[in-house]
């Protein structure tokens, strides 16, 4: 059950990251390469000057990628904390020597709690990606 939820969130994240890539990041990468090509066409510039120009062209893409990685990292940390809270809550209820029946009951409780975490975090994704679109669209 938990594995299905993990797949569910991974698929949703993958879908949204792919859409972000298609709508914003690829355009930024294309602009970066066009900019770098202009740098290389300047036959009067020194090698160091061309290198600095190319590095300046890549800065917006690097910042965008860092922003996306940071936001996704924060999201994953929040999801992990939620699931860990489920785990801690169940451990607190379980006691030192649970029976097989108790283990089954507590496993079921943990799974329900973890599913709620995933549901909650899937619901967060539209706002998170809308925010990323806005931030990256302004870069």
Going from N- to C-terminal start, the domains of the chain cover: 1-138
Query: Does 138 have pLDDT greater than 80?
Result: no
Mean pLDDT (whole number) for 5-20: 94
Q: Any idea which residue has 């949703």 for tokens? A: 12
Alpha-carbon distances of 5 from 83, 87, 94, 114, 124, rounded to whole Å: 11, 15, 23, 8, 15
Residue 34 pLDDT grade (very low, low, confident, very high; cuts 50, 70, 90): very high
**Tell me, what's the pLDDT at 1?**
61
pLDDT-based confidence at 76, cuts 50/70/90? very high
**Predicted confidence band at 137 (pLDDT cuts at 50, 70, 90)?**
confident
Residue 116 has pLDDT above 70, yes or no: yes
CB–CB of 113/86 below 8 Å? yes
Helices (H) and strands (E) in the chain, counts: 4, 0
pTM for the structure as a whole: 0.84
Q: Please give the Cα distance from 94 to 108 (Å, whole number).
A: 12
At 10, is the pLDDT very low, low, confident or very high (cuts 50, 70, 90)? Answer: very high
The pLDDT of residue 99 is: 87
- Segment 90-111 shows an average pLDDT of 90
């Amino acid at each position: 059950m938990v594995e299905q939820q993990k797949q569910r969130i991974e698929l949703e994240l993958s879908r949204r990251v792919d859409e972000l890539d298609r709508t914003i990041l690829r355009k930024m990468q294309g602009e970066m390469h066009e900019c770098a090509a202009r740098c290389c066409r300047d036959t009067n510039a020194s090698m160091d000057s061309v290198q600095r120009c190319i590095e300046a062209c890549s800065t917006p893409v690097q910042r965008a990628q860092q922003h996306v990685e940071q936001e996704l990292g924060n999201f994953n940390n929040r999801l992990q904390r939620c699931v860990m809270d489920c785990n801690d809550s169940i451990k607190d209820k379980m006691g030192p020597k649970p029976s097989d029946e108790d283990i089954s009951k507590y496993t079921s409780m943990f799974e329900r709690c973890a599913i709620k975490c995933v549901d909650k975090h899937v619901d967060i994704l539209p706002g998170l990606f809308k925010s990323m679109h806005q931030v990256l669209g302004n870069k």
